[in-house]
Amino acid sequence: MNKFAVLQLSGCAGCEVSLLNADAWVDRYKLVYMPLVISAYDVPQVDTLLVSGGVRNDEDLYNLRRAVRRTKHVVAVGTCAISGGVASLGDRDAVRQLFLAEEGRRHVPRLLPRCHPVDAFVEVDRYLPGCPPTPELFMAVLFDSSDFKPSRIVCQECGREKLKDMRPDHLLGFQQGRVLPGICLINQGYLCIGSSTRGGCRAPCPRAGHPCVGCRGPSDALIEKDSAAWMESIGRVFATLTDVPVEEVEAGLRSPQLALFLFQFSDYADGSGIGREGRPPRPKEKML
Amino acid sequence: MPTLTFPLSRIEGHAQVVIEVQGGKVVSARFQAMEFRGFRYFVQGIPAEQMPVIVPRICGVCSTAHHVAAVKALEDVFEVTPPPLALKIRELLLLGQIVQNQATSLFIFTMPDRLGLASIFALADEDVGEEGALLATRVLRVRKAGTDLITTAGGQFIHPVKAVVGGVTGGVSSEQAAAMRDEIEAALPIACELFDYYWEQSLALRERIGTWGDDAPACYIAAVADTRPNYTGGDIRVMDAGGVVRDVFPARDFRGFLDHEETDYSYAGRTSYRGEVLRANSLARINMAQRMGTPRADEYLMRFREAFGWPAHALLLYDLARGVELVYALERALEILEDPLDGEDTDVGYTPRDGEAYGLVEAPRGPLIHHYVIEGGLIADVEFIIPTVHNVRAIERALRVAAERYVTAERVDMELERAVGRVVRAFDPCIACATH
């Protein structure tokens, strides 16, 4: 039986919890290291290493470098491992100073100046984006994924109908409340970015009435392009479906809630991403 | 001075225990949280209304509690009261979290300590008989009922999205509710069988090690009423070791009762109640409960009381208390799912305001408070009052009790390593939350 390990760096364990929801691996794959559920203090030789969380402190970096030597394949799992995730919100001038207050401690891992994605330090064979990836996605990355057919974008998995004659002229902001069932959230004035976000999650959020925030990152069409291309793409969708001024859409896209995931769009593409300066775009062939 | 370091596993997040020994005497026992991301810093300056989507990322295990606490904090300052249907759906959401968490803590984190295993997923290598071989599959099935409840009531399966200021984004259709009821009805008997097995194995463990662990008196803290526990948070209550409720206060008054201190050896601080050691989590709630209010859970509660008295203080009883809650949460969710949940009246409008916002829920680990200072619609300051932090002094005290038991002038009994794991896991600490 193939063996796999899960290395959790600085993160929320949501990826691990999602993996536990995918119970079908239990009989088919041997989990040999995952401190959340197994008492084993070292990563043994494995076929596949899943890495979740970002590299936030020196211990994360040490554990990562050590573990990748013992595996054939490295899979970066979740937004934090792929682009630093939510902790990257700390990489702003306004708050960076606050972190210095944490330097008065001993006997704990030292914080790095910022949160780094895994591939800033080691080669990654496969990327599994999502916050967190669904159990179905975990199964597809652990096993042969040839029969897993994700849609190109979240929009195609959402099932809400786009209407030609329901054109809001402003965004609704957060005045969310009850959402009309079955109708595209953009038609209802929500800033949903499922039209440029990678499919494969089966769109749980927009189905439940919450706009897609883009946690799966850019679709294949945008993955090698910069954030301006992505902004234009969203702009075109809103111009087709709404009369919302383009400036309003752009301002909304720059809000932190979306930035939480959206700064990764530029991060995927080129050397502008944190800790990836000068590296080539992440190839779409490696994304699931 | 000899220093014993114990890395921890089968808990959420990165932590270790360090025990210092000198001349056969235990000098100190420390619980160190070893990770830090800085939520209290990096959410500053963001629009307050975005918090319910950002804060679940504090923790993928406790995400639901943070999601609801954020919404409640904003409702507190905007002075808006959600309609009853929305409150019911939120209760369902938090029950899903209790099911998922207590099943994980009992059967994945601490069951191996009862069976002498490294993990329930390592069973293929062990001779554990037929009962053991099916364990992992059955455990995951119970756990999944909790996850599916979160998905049904919360939209996303880990970081929920359906709770919004003023209510929820929509109801639960009768088809969804029926499917969920079927799943819970199938999971409930499995949960009870697993819990009975767990109870037996706990008695065997007690026989083997000769103790139920540290039972020194402590004050208990919880934010649930004394019957039919509702995890959506009312007032915070503190009960003393004799069972007397000493204080009842709303979240916004917590500073009058709880003192927080930072330490230089951990990214989590620790809390005291009027200078005393405090205990939160399952045992606190069970000690405060008169009844659970559902049939099977009440049977278990009665059995618990007959066996261990009231209030119960021994450490390993935390784990058994979790089982009572697991059964309760499944039963209570069934009750709620009997009611129509597909009504239109799921939210009310609101006007954003600046001010001091307090949101409280009873998370699996105890009362969780989100405190926001909102200026110009933006977060100017924030505090996350985390239940795991309330338990840190109690954890360190219990570690010391364990260390004194197994360290003598001649030797360190390596049962100490297992004892450290049992002590910490009894409190089911969450390090991602505690450090945030």
Instruction: Collect all residues of chain B within an 8 Å Cβ-Cβ radius of residue A92.
Output: 42, 45
pLDDT at A177: 65
What's residue B381's pLDDT?
A: 95
CB B298 within 8 Å of CB B308: no
Cβ atoms of B328 and B297 closer than 8 Å: yes
Cα–Cα distances in Å, from B106 out to B103, B320, B324? 5, 8, 11
Please report residues of A whose CB lies closer than 8 A to that of B74.
none
Distance CA A89, CA A65 (A): 25
H or E element that contains A17 = helix A14-21
Q: How confident is the model at residue A103 (pLDDT cuts 50, 70, 90)?
A: confident
Distance of CA B43 to the CA centre of its chain: 24
Q: Which helix (H) or strand (E) holds A258?
A: helix A256-269
Inter-chain touch A89–B43, beta carbons under 8 Å: yes
Question: In this structure, is the dihedral angle defined by the CA atoms of residues B334, B335, B336 and B340, taken in order, positive or negative?
Answer: positive
Question: What value does the mean pLDDT of chain A take?
Answer: 87
pLDDT of A106 reads: 82
Write down the pLDDT at residue B218: 93
Interface residue A173 vs chain B (CB under 8 A): yes
A260 touches chain B (CB under 8 A): yes
Q: Of the ranges B57-71, B111-125, B156-170, B270-284, which one carries the lowest mean pLDDT score?
A: B111-125
How high is the pLDDT of residue B143?
94
Are the beta carbons of B43 and A39 separated by less than 8 Å? no
For range B298-307, the mean pLDDT: 98
**How far A210 CA sits from the closest chain B CA (Å)?**
6
Nearest to A281 by CA among A229, A232, A226: A226
Q: Give the closest of B11, B120, B264 to A104, CB-based.
A: B264
| pTM of the predicted protein model | 0.95
Query: What residue spans of A195-255 are helical by DSSP H?
Result: 204-207, 227-241, 246-253
Eight-class DSSP state of A134: P
pLDDT-based confidence at residue A275 (cuts at 50, 70, 90) = low
pLDDT tens track for A221-253? 988 887 788 888 999 999 999 999 999 998 888
Concatenate the DSSP letters of all residues of A47-60 into one string: EEEEEESBEEEHHH
| Least reliable range by pLDDT among B206-210, B227-231, B291-295 | B227-231
Q: pLDDT digit string (tens) for B81-118?
A: 999 999 999 999 999 999 999 999 999 999 999 999 99
Q: State chain B's mean pLDDT as an integer.
A: 94
| Lowest mean per-residue pLDDT among A259-273, B49-63, B256-270, B411-425 | A259-273
* Burial of A283: CB neighbours in 10 Å, binned 0-12, 13-18, 19+: exposed
Helix (H, G, I), strand (E, B) or coil at A279: coil
Answer whether A86 sits within 8 Å of B57, measured CB to CB.
yes
Beta-strand pair B270-273/B258-261: antiparallel
Output the DSSP codes for B306-336.
HHH-SS---TTHHHHHHHHHHHHHHHHHHHH
Pairwise pLDDT comparison (B306 vs A90), residue with the higher score: B306
Q: Can you give the length of chain A in residues?
A: 288
Contact list, B44 vs chain A (CB under 8 Å): 94-95, 98
pLDDT confidence bin for B195, thresholds 50/70/90 = very high
Q: What is the mean pLDDT of residues B262-273?
A: 94
**Tens digits of residue pLDDT in A12-48:** 999 999 999 887 777 778 889 999 999 988 899 999 9
Stretch B15-36: mean pLDDT, rounded?
95
Which residues on B lie below 8 Å from A39 (Cβ)?
Answer: 9-10, 112, 118-119, 421
Calpha distance A245→B325 (Å, rounded): 51
Q: Find the mean pLDDT for residues B141-167.
A: 94
Euclidean distance between CA atoms A171 and A175, whole angstroms: 10
pLDDT at residue number A26? 73
Q: What is the pLDDT of residue A28?
A: 79
Q: Is the pLDDT of residue B126 over 60?
A: no
Runs of H (alpha helix) within B123-173: 129-133, 135-154
Tell me: pLDDT of B127 over 60.
no
Q: How far apart are the first and last CA of chain A?
A: 23
User: Number of A:B CB contacts under 8 A?
Assistant: 231
